[in-house]
Structures are given as structure tokens and as C-alpha cells.
A and B are shown apart, each in its own frame.
Chain A
Amino acid sequence: MGVEFTGRRGALFWLALKTGFFSILTLGFYRFWMKTRLRRWYWSAMRPGGHPLEYVGDPLEKLLGFFIAVVILTFYIGIVNLLLMFASFSVFNSSALGYVASFAGVIPLWFYARYRARRYVLARTRWRGVRFGLERGAWGYAIRALWYWFLTIVTLGALWPRMTFLLEKYKTDRTFFGSARMLQGGRWQMLYRAAAPFIAALIVLLGTGLWLFWLDPVFATGFENGAAVVEAVDGFFEGRMPVDNWSSPERLLLIPLALSGLLFGAIYYRWVSKRIMAQHKMAPGIQFDSQLSGVRVTFIYVLGNFIAYVMLVLGLVAMIFLGAFMFSDSLLFLTDMPGAQTALSLPRWVSIVLLAVMYLVFFLMWGVLYNTFVTFPLMRHMALTTSLPVTAGLPLISQRDRDAFAEAEGFAEALDLGAAI
């Protein structure tokens, strides 16, 4: 059984634009409706066996969940932040520790919220009228995640694939479609295959570093201090090549090249590990398969993010100019332009409101473009490359009970995990 993908980019663009616009108008409250509607659209676009997935999440329950999370988290975050700040200045005379501790205090909550959010989304997803579901176990997930992260850091990343695999297995083994429990098969060692490009890029980067700064140094004489480096870079960009004792500085271009390789390796690992694990997912009488292409996904990421960020950067530059124009008298060359006098004579608060609106509009456009050029093609690629080669177990499945779940994904929303669909 294959998975179809219906729905056109244009339709999604308008939906994202419309709902995003309402979100701004309502100072962010419509975002619960926006997220629901976008999910409905994406879910219904993915059609295993020709029949759409259905997202039945309710915006009002999201709003309720958000309120619940706010009530619980305000006390935690407000008081804890204040006490940490106090403690770090009373005892250690520095703010750095306070920031680190307040960040570290949120990490277990963050994993907890991620699992809860997944449980909510699965509980509100149906296909052919049958519910998905995820068993309870958010604290177990948070504790395991912390432990695997600790092991990963201690081993300098060597056990990263183990963490990826075991966390995914924890979630998959608790996932249900109707009465059928899913199972993550395979071993964690199989994910090293996905990490190959990243490891290669890392080796190239280290080798480049060794070559450029140790074996055959570009800066044979070295720099006395930081100021000399700034001086040299300035000189380089102003067209002076003052340093005749540099040996073939064009080799420095290898560094950004190796860094891009590292980025590619990271994206490749993230998605190809998903593919490998998907190929080993199963349920009674059902097999999954995925032909996802890591190169294609990287391409989507790079191109989509480029489009979205170009928009954002253009917007911010325009804003800076407008701001400078409104608030400064030093841009005298602008005062000759028609209409300049009206703009300058605007009351200050009008200018501030104008800038705030522009700021919001550019972030709205960024979100819309990200949906259109990153999330949409990613979802499409994921849907079209996924298939179910064995579906003999489907007739044996029956409906499961509804998971009421009062706080919806409130914690995830409040802790800012909501950005991902």
C-alpha cells in the first residue's frame, strides 16, 4: 500500500497567510486555531491507500491546555528564575551560573513536554476512522532522554546513534493504531550508516585545520593578538593584501566548505536515521518501508530556508532603514524626498507602532514561506517515499478508546516547542 499526497502549495500558502494574519490581529491567540487548521490540512494531504489522515484536535482544548500550563509554569519559571539569579549573585558573584542553572532546570520539563505533545497529536490523529494513540510515560521518557544525553556527551558523541534509536524505540513501542501496538525493530548500531557523511565531514574539517594551522600554516608568523586579526581581515576586505608572509591563503576557503559538509552531514543523519528506523517499524501483520532521500531532504532544507531567510533579511533591512529615517535627523539626504516631511513630523508613537506592525508582518511572512517551502515539500517527500508493503494485519485491528488529555499540548506550547508542526 502506497501513500499519496494531495494538496497544492498555493492552497497551503493562502491558508498559512490567512491564519497567520488572524494570529497577528488577535495578538497571538488565534495561533491555536492556526496550528489546528494547518495540521488538518497537512494530515488530510497524506493519504495512505488513498484515504486521508484526519486531525481531530480542537483549538479550544489547546487554549485550555495552554492556560493550564501557564498556571503551573508561571510559578515554576518566575520564582525559580528569580531565586537562581539571587543565588548566583549572592554566592558566585556572576550571572552566568544563574542563566545556566535556569536553563538546565527546564531541560527535563522540555523532554516531558515533547512526549506529552506527541501523545496529544497521536491521540488526535485518525486514519479510516480509527484512532492512533501513545501510552502514558512522559517522565520515563524525560529520565531516559537525560541519561542518554549524558552518555552521548561523555562519549563525545560516539553513542549518539544509540540515543536516537532508543528514544525512538521508547516512543514507537508505546504507539498504537487502534488495537495494534507498533514495534521498533532493528539495532542501534545500524544508525552509524546514517552518520557516515557527518563523520567524513568531521574528519575533513579536522584534517583541514591540522593542515592550515599546524603542518603548513597559512599564517607563518602567527598573530600577536586579536586586534591584529581584525586588522588583517579589514585589510583583506579593503583590497589590500598586506601580508606577503601568508602562504596561499586561498586554502582558507576549505573551512567554510568543510563546515557546509558538516551541516549536510547533520541533516542527512537526522533524516536517514528516520528512514532506517522506519524500515524496521512494524505492527502485527503490517510492515513499513521508507525510501526517503537524505540528499533530497537537505536540498529542501537549504533552498526553503534560503527563501524564507532572504525574505526575513530583506524585511529587517527595510525596517532598519525606516527606523533610522524616522528616529534620526542624521540621514539628511532623505529629507529631500517627497513626503519626507510628513514622515518626520509623525508623532513618535505612531512610528513605533508602524515599526512594530512591520516587524510582525515580516515574521508572519517568514512563517508562511517556511510552511510553503520547507514543511510542505518535506511532508510531501516523506509521504511519497513511505509505503506499507505488508498490510495483511489491517482487518484484525479495531478501534481504541478516546484519550481525553485535558492539558492538550499546553506545556509544549508554553515552553516554546510549538514551532514544529
Chain B
Amino acid sequence: MSLTNDYIQQRLEEQFPGQLTQFEEPYGMLTFEAPRELNLKVMQFLFEDPELSFRFLTDLTAVHYPAYTGRELAVVYHLHNLVANVRIRFKVYAPIAQPDVFSATKIFMSANWQEREAFDFYGVNFVGHPNLKRIQNVDEMDYFPLRKEFPLEDQTRIDKDDEMFGRGGSFDFGNRQEDGAPRQIPDTEQ
């Protein structure tokens, strides 16, 4: 019997009645949302059930939704059943004030660094992780750079004097006054 999305959804709803929501199939991949206390239970069930046996963690990452009050940070898991060749995706949401999510390292060794990366960039606190510290950024960093409150710099700004990167200094990009002082930012308030 082939493992269809409908069947997986049915099995999940039997196991966790009424707790899993937002079942969707964007581009053919079954996607659902689980309460964050249940993330390990869901993963364990998907891993151990002989029919489902999603034994491969393809990807683990986080997303920041500033607009979702009280559930700003999403952790996204992509699981793969290699035998039946079916992929699924599920998400848990955590409030940014206390972003505690259980760590999947006990089930998948590969979750270790991926969770460290999600912690590094989004500050998701993976409870039970053996070594939760920054992985790409410097240890002294005190913010989480991929969160949406850090917008990328506007390339057209002219108030910065930055010789190293081609703005200001000996190059004339129109952001210097005659005497070499940086040009004032035009007042944008109407």
C-alpha cells in the first residue's frame, strides 16, 4: 500500500485527536502544525510507527513572523520516509518572549547543528540540547540576526561615510559637500 497524504493525516489525527491543525498540501507536501509541547511526541510517532517510519530528518529551520502575536517564531521540520519516498513538513510555533521548544537531538543526531543554527539566527531555545551555543556567528553576539527586526541596509542611503565600501572617502558619489564634509540627510518629514 502506498503511503498517501490522506492516510498519513488520518493516522496522525487518530493518534493526536484534535491537536494537530492547519493541514495543507502546498506543492504536494503534507504540511501541518503541532502544538509546541507535542513536537517530540509527533516526531517520535512518525519515526517509530512501522507504516509511517519517517526516519530521516531532511531539514530543520526557523522562521520569524512578527505579525503573529504570541507565536512569533516557527520551527519547521522536514521529514522523509526514504522507503516509501514521501516527504512531510510540520511546524511548531513559540512566543518570542519565551521561545522554548524541545530538542530533537535524542531522535535525530542531525538535529544537533541545525538546532544550533536555528538558535544562532532566531534565538529558539531548544530545551534538552546537549550543546546549545552559536555556530556561525561569534559567541559574543547578543542578538539574533535573522529576525525581522533587523532589516537589511538600504543600498541608497547617503548618510554613511564608509570609505572601505565605496561610499564617501575619495570617491565622489554625490554624498560629499564642497569642503569634503558629509552631505546632510535631506529632511524627509513633510
Co-assembled chains A and B: no
* Residue positions of B touching A, CB distance < 8 A: none
* Residue positions of A touching B, CB distance < 8 A: none
